[in-house]
Structure 1
Amino acid sequence: MSKPVEIYAHRGCSGEFPENTMAAFEAACKIGADGIELDVQMTKDGEVVVIHDEQIDRTTNGIGFVKDFRYKQLKLFDAGSWFHPKFSRQTIPSLQDVLDLIKTSDSEMKVNIELKNDVLLYEGMEEKVLQCVQRSGMMDSVILSSFNFKSMGRMRELDNEIQTALLFEGIPSNIMEEARKVRANGLHSEASFAVSAAGKRTVEAGYPLRVFTVNQTDKLEDLARSGVSALITDYPGLFLENKSVPF
Structure 2
Amino acid sequence: MMNNMCVAHRGFSGKAPENTLAAVRMAIALPFVRWMEIDVQLTKDGVPVVIHDYSLDRTTNGHGKVKNMDYEHMRRLDAGSWKGRAFRGERVPSLEEVLALASGRLRLNIELKTVGDMYPGLAQAVIDLVNARGMREEVVLTSFDAGVLRRIKELDARFHTGLIYDSRSGDPAGKLDELGCSFLSISFDRLSPVLAKSLIARGVQVMAWTLNKGKEMRRLSEIHSDIMICTNRPDIWGELFLKA
The question of a shared fold, defined as TM-score above 0.5 by the shorter chain, is answered with yes
Paired with 1:17 and 1:139, the residues of 2 have a C-alpha distance of: 27
Partners of 2:63 and 2:227 lie apart in 1 by 38
Three-state SS of the structure 2 residue aligned to 1:117 is coil
TM, length-normalised to structure 2: 0.93
DSSP 3-state at the match of 2:27: helix
Structure 1 residues 197, 132: CA separation in 2 closer, same or farther (over 3 Å shift)?
A: same
Question: Do the aligned partners of residues 51 and 114 (structure 1) sit closer, same or farther apart at CA in structure 2, a change above 3 Å counting?
Answer: same
Task: Give, in angstroms, the shift of residue 3 of structure 1.
Answer: 7.0
Shift of residue 153 of structure 1?
A: 1.6
Match of 2:121 in 1: 124
1:231 is the counterpart of 2:223:
no
Map of 2:61 onto structure 1: 61
Q: How far apart are the structure 2 equivalents of 1:95 and 1:10?
A: 16
Q: TM-score, normalised by structure 1?
A: 0.92
The answer to whether residue 25 in structure 2 is matched with residue 19 in structure 1 is no
Which amino acid is 1:230 matched to?
Answer: M
Give yes or no for contact 2:5–2:229 (8 Å, CA) kept in 1: yes
Code of the aligned partner of 1:15:
G
Contact 2:2–2:241, Cα closer than 8 Å, also in 1: no
Question: Which whole-Å CA distance do the structure 2 matches of 1:28 and 1:61 have between them?
Answer: 24
Question: Secondary structure of 1:165's partner?
Answer: strand
Give aligned pairs, total: 242
State how far apart, in whole Å, the 1-side matches of 2:223 and 2:167 are.
Answer: 16
Q: Is the 8 A contact 1:79 1:91 kept in 2?
A: yes
1:17 CA drift (Å) = 0.5
Counterpart in 2 of 1:97? 97
Identity %: 32
What amino acid is the match of 1:195? S
Q: Which position in structure 1 is the counterpart of 2:52?
A: 52
- The residue identity in structure 1 corresponding to 2:92 is I
Structure 1 residues 116-125 or 87-96, which shifts more?
Answer: 116-125
Structure 2 residue runs without a partner (length 5+): none
1:77 is matched with: 77
Change (3 A) 1:170 1:196: farther
Tell me the CA shift for residue 125 of structure 1.
0.6
Aligned pair in 2 of structure 1 residues 66, 173: CA closer, same or farther (>3 Å)?
A: closer
Offset, 1:138: 1.0
Q: After TM superposition, give the deviation of residue 240 of structure 1 in Å.
A: 2.1
Unaligned runs of 5+ in 1: none
Shift of 1:244: 4.4
Q: Which amino acid aligns with 1:50?
A: V
- In structure 2, what is the Cα distance between the partners aligned to 1:116 and 1:179? 18
Q: In the TM superposition, what are the counterparts of 1:215-230 in structure 2 within 5 Å?
A: 215-227=212-224, 228-230=226-228
Is contact 1:7-1:236 (8 Å) kept? yes
Q: Secondary structure at the match of 1:140?
A: helix
Contact 1:42 1:67 survives alignment (8 Å):
yes
1:168-187 counterparts in 2 under 5 A? Answer: 168-187=165-184
Q: Distance in 2 between matches of 1:40 and 1:242?
A: 30
Compare 203-212 and 121-130 and name the one that shifted more: 203-212
CA distance in 2, matches of 1:82, 1:119: 30
- How big is the shift at 1:218? 1.1
SS of aligned partner of 1:177: helix
Q: Describe the shift of the 1:197–1:173 C-alpha distance in structure 2 as closer, same or farther (beyond 3 A).
A: farther
Structure 1 residue aligned with 2:187, among 190, 206, 217? 190
> Of residues 112, 116, 124 in structure 2, which corresponds to 1:115?
112
SS at match of 2:240: coil
Structure 1 residue 163, shift from structure 2 partner: 1.2
**For the residues of structure 1 that align with 2:243 and 2:123, how far apart are their CA atoms?**
36
Contact 2:196 2:227 in 1 (8 A): no
Aligned-residue Cα RMSD (Å) equals 1.8
